[in-house]
Amino acid sequence: MSLSTSSEVVVRTRHLGKAYQLYAHRSDWLKQVMFGWYKTYYKPFWVLRDVDLDVYRGDSVGILGRNGCGKSTLLQVICGMTLPSNGELRVTGRIAPVLALGATFDAELSGRENILIGGAVMGLTRAEVLRKFDSMAKFAGIGDYMEQPMKHYSMGMRTRLAFAICAHVDAEILVVDEALAVGDAAFQRKCLDWIDSFRRKGTLLFVSHSPAEVRRLCNRAIWIEDGRIRAQGEPSVVIRAYHRALAMEKDDVHRFSVSE
């Protein structure tokens, strides 16, 4: 499997699979912990199967797929939040996950205090956060609300602040999961501009339901269905195939049930 440019591969997966353990009874996990070496008490629910992916340095990859197809799980696995069940994963470089904006926010604290915590979680030191604070405040553009408790923020303001933190993390690989849906058009443009500039020095993995964003930001697109890669390649080609499939297939209500 050695490619000539293998030193340039920052994310490589081979036969990557992820199964969640579904238990029929609440107490079965305990049996699994105690007797797991003897018998399996859960039903594996495969959310990712046989994902082969190579992301090269400087790539920006758009990931398409319907809800529950495994996009977010793939990103979580790549970021190292959860371990894959089988297959091989190799990641080189510092990853900044923008999976759920504002996951670390505390409604009682002010924007300033939340920035200190959010920055620390993203791997910045306190000194770095304090140095970049003015720039973050400027990017967020929420003015005097910075000193208010976050419970008074609107959804859009939270998003602004969260993205401002992410934009100031010096990452080599940026992983963005449908994060920009909330902000207003002007702010979305600002974020897209920033991602655009990030693309020139780093690698981007980008989940979006907006074909326009993927076309604009990505040089490659991946379409995931039922945990497998269904198509990948030129964004416009993949997007067209994806949309054709969406139009053909109805929204299946049984999509999330475990197949026997």
Partner 1 sequence: MPSVKIVNGQQIVVEALDPAQRFSRFLAKPFLQMRYNREIVLAILRRELRSRFVGSAGGWLWAVAAPLFAISVYTFAFTTKLQMSFVGEQGQKPIAYALFIFAGLVVFNFFSEMAYRSPMLLHEYAHFIKQTIFPSDMLAVISTLRAAAFTAIGVVVLLICVGVVTGGLHWTVVFVPLVFLPLMAFLMGLAWFLCAIGAFTRDAGYLMINVVPLFMFMTPVFFTHTAMPPPWDILLYANALTSYVEVMRDIVLIGKLPNPLVVLWMLATSIFTFYFGYWFFDRYRNVIVDVI
Question: Which residues contact partner 1 by CB under 8 A?
Answer: 20-21, 29-30, 33, 76, 79-95, 97, 99-100, 103-104, 106, 108-109, 113, 116-117, 119-126, 172
Residue 103 or 181 having the CB closest to partner 1: 103
Report in angstroms how near the CB of residue 96 gets to partner 1 at its nearest: 9
Residue 12 is which amino acid?
A: R
Report in angstroms how near the CB of residue 127 gets to partner 1 at its nearest: 9
Q: Do the beta carbons of residue 18 and residue 77 sit within 8 Å?
A: yes
Residue 113 or 226 having the CB closest to partner 1: 113
Report in angstroms how near the CB of residue 243 gets to partner 1 at its nearest: 29
- Taking the C-alpha atoms of residue 143 and residue 137, their distance in angstroms, rounded to an integer, is 8
Q: Would you list the DSSP string of 199-250?
A: HTTSEEEEE-S-HHHHHHH-SEEEEEETTEEEEEESHHHHHHHHHHHHHHS-
Residue 111 or 211 having the CB closest to partner 1: 111
Distance of CA 149 to the CA centre of its chain: 27
- Taking the C-alpha atoms of residue 171 and residue 94, their distance in angstroms, rounded to an integer, is 5
Report in angstroms how near the CB of residue 91 gets to partner 1 at its nearest: 5
Task: Provide CB contacts within 8 A for 148, sequence distance 6+.
Answer: 110, 111
Residue 50 or 106 having the CB closest to partner 1: 106
Residue 77 or 142 having the CB closest to partner 1: 77
Report in angstroms how near the CB of residue 104 gets to partner 1 at its nearest: 6
Report in angstroms how near the CB of residue 210 gets to partner 1 at its nearest: 21
Give the chain's length.
260
Q: Would you list the DSSP string of 149-201?
A: BGGG--HHHHHHHHHHHHTTS--SEEEEESGGGSS-HHHHHHHHHHHHHHHTT
Residue 179 or 218 having the CB closest to partner 1: 179
Q: Which of 66, 46, 50 is nearest to 245 (CA)?
A: 66
- Taking the C-alpha atoms of residue 176 and residue 68, their distance in angstroms, rounded to an integer, is 17
Token look-up 């934009």 returns 167
Residue 98 or 214 having the CB closest to partner 1: 98
Report in angstroms how near the CB of residue 54 gets to partner 1 at its nearest: 15
Q: Which residues of 228-237 are buried (b: 16+ CB within 10 A; e: fewer)?
A: bbbbbeebee
